[in-house]
Amino acid sequence: MSTEYKVGDLIYDADIYDGLNTFLSDLPFYKKWLPTNKSAKILELCCGSGRLTIPLAKECNICGIDNSSSMLERAKIKAEKEGLEIEFIEADIRTLDIPNKYDLIFIPFNSIHHLYTNQDLFDTLNVVKKHLKKDGLFLLDCYNPNIHYIIEAEKGLNNIAEYTTGDGREVLIKQTMHYENATQINRIEWHYFINGKLHSTQNLDMRMYFPQELDEYLKRFEFKIIHKFGSFEEEIFNDKSDKQIFVCK
Ligand SMILES: C[S@@+](CC[C@H](N)C(=O)[O-])C[C@H]1O[C@@H](n2cnc3c(N)ncnc32)[C@H](O)[C@@H]1O
List own/partner pairs for 218-227 with CB under 8 A and 24 or more apart. 218/125, 218/246, 218/248, 221/122, 221/125, 221/126, 221/128, 221/129, 222/129, 223/125, 223/129, 223/138, 223/248, 223/249, 224/248, 224/249
Q: Is the pLDDT of residue 16 over 60?
A: yes
Tell me what the pLDDT averaged over the chain comes to: 96
Query: Whose C-alpha lies nearest to ligand 1, atom 8?
Result: 109
Half-sphere exposure at residue 163, Cβ-oriented, CA atoms within 13 angstroms: 14
Q: Which pLDDT score is estimated for 2? A: 66
Task: Work out the burial of residue 226: count CB atoms within 10 Å of its CB; fewer than 13 is exposed, 13-18 middle, 19 or more buried.
Answer: exposed
Which of 15, 23, 43, 67 to mutate to test ligand 1, by most ligand atoms within 8 A of the CB atom? 67
CATH architecture classification, 14-144+210-248: 3-Layer(aba) Sandwich (3.40)
pLDDT digits (tens, 9 = 90+) for 24-59: 999 999 999 999 998 999 999 999 999 999 999 999
pLDDT digits (tens, 9 = 90+) for 199-233: 999 999 999 999 999 999 999 999 999 999 999 99
pTM (global) more than 0.95:
yes
Q: Is the pLDDT of residue 3 over 80?
A: no
Residues having CB closer than 6 A to ligand 1 are 12, 21, 46-48, 51-52, 66-68, 71, 92-94, 108-111, 114
Using pLDDT thresholds of 50, 70 and 90, give the confidence band for residue 115: very high
Delimit the domains of the chain by residue range. Answer: 14-144+210-248, 147-206
Using pLDDT thresholds of 50, 70 and 90, give the confidence band for residue 122: very high
What percent of the chain stands above pLDDT 70? 99
Query: Whose C-alpha lies nearest to ligand 1, atom 12?
Result: 46
Q: Which pLDDT score is estimated for 231? A: 98
What percent of the chain stands above pLDDT 90? 98
Using pLDDT thresholds of 50, 70 and 90, give the confidence band for residue 185: very high
**Residue 90 Cα to ligand 1 middle (Å):** 11
Q: Which pLDDT score is estimated for 1? A: 56
Which of 20, 96, 111 to mutate to test ligand 1, by most ligand atoms within 8 A of the CB atom? 111
Using pLDDT thresholds of 50, 70 and 90, give the confidence band for residue 157: very high
Average pLDDT over residues 131-152: 97
* Chain center to CA of 104: 16
Q: Which pLDDT score is estimated for 107? A: 98
Query: Whose C-alpha lies nearest to ligand 1, atom 18?
Result: 92
Average pLDDT over residues 145-167: 95
